[in-house]
Amino acid sequence: MPDPFHALVLMNLLFVAGAWCLARPSCAAAAVLAATGVAWALWNQPIEGRVLVSFSIEHGITESDILSVLAVVIAAVTVYRSRQRGRRR
């Protein structure tokens, strides 16, 4: 059974990387956020929450999986913002 402490540390890293992307958009920040979002999707089992959509008895989308989707969206917006900022200079 995975440790809830490590899942909470990873969730905090996800929030910090998201704040970094929003405060200072750069491709490096977006890469860290996307990698953390993928890691969160893989290792969030101890604090997943309720199942929102079930594909089978053992597989489905949970409440915490939404954080991974949101992380990838913010990373994509960050790449767009950093490229727009680079073009203006």
Do residues 7 and 50 make contact, with C-beta atoms less than 8 angstroms apart?
A: no
pTM of the model: 0.86
Residue written as tokens 């750069």?
26
Report helix, strand and coil shares of the chain as percent, to nearest 5. Answer: 70, 10, 20
Stretches where the chain sits below pLDDT 50 are none
Measured at the CA of 65, the angle between CA 43 and CA 13, to 5 degrees, comes to 55
pLDDT of residue 86: 76
C-beta atoms surrounding 74 within 10 Å: 21
Identify the pLDDT of residue 40.
93
pLDDT of residue 89: 66
